[in-house]
Amino acid sequence: MSRNHCLLSRSVLAAVLAASGQSLAAGGAELGVRVSALHAATHSQGIGLIVRWPMSQGYFAMASLDRQHYERGDSALSMPPAELRSTVVGAAFGREQRSNSLLQSWFWSWGLSAGFPTTGRNESAIADSLFTTATEIHLTASLGVSTKLSDNWTLTGTARLERHFVDWRLTAADGSLLGRKEALTASGLSLAVNYKF
């Protein structure tokens, strides 16, 4: 699984670079700051940067860099709560549609991200147990609304549904596997303020 994660992580970076090269020529790129709240086994919060490049017929490409903080666990798999922090690099492709109002538009997008988590506090009741993670792959479907604040500024609200492919492991001091989780579904919202160049 680790090898597959590395290959997909490289694919994410390649997609970001490709989107940049194809879209910058169109002009009108947007730079934004967003805050996010997701819920899976527990809540997570994040803050990040997004860059969006317009393409033809309302399509756009987007790159993102987020820093997330969360606590996750799974009692059914003997996986105790653990504090995690993750840097998430992503790319997305979508389309924007204007509404009847000149001040608002709605959009959809599909995205692929790679998460690089680090572990903190481990609340396992098992002495000397170790909770470990590996590179994560996130598939994202989003639906959102943008409101024009001025000629250059927009406010964007987005509903997100994500499937995370993870490798969480709880091991005993002797190396035996006590619990493992490989995938989970997360949903939530993000709010962004964007500046259009």
- Model pLDDT, residue 80: 59
Q: Please identify which residue in the block is written with the tokens 């204007």.
A: 98
- Model pLDDT, residue 125: 57
- Domains within the chain, CATH numbers bracketed: 2-196 (2.40.160.20)
Report yes or no: 170 and 130 within 8 Å, Cβ to Cβ. yes
Cβ neighbors of 79 (< 8 A, separation 6 or more) are 72, 73, 131, 168, 170, 179, 180, 181
Q: From CA 186, how far away is CA 189, in angstroms rounded?
A: 10
pLDDT in tens, the chain (197 residues): 555 555 555 555 455 445 444 433 345 899 999 999 998 766 789 999 999 999 999 999 999 999 998 876 655 455 556 678 899 999 999 999 987 767 889 999 999 999 999 876 665 556 677 778 899 999 999 999 999 999 899 999 999 999 999 998 888 888 888 888 898 899 999 999 999 99
Q: What is the pTM of this model?
A: 0.79
- Model pLDDT, residue 60: 97
Report yes or no: 33 and 16 within 8 Å, Cβ to Cβ. no
- Residues 177, 183, 188, 193: is their CA dihedral positive or negative? positive
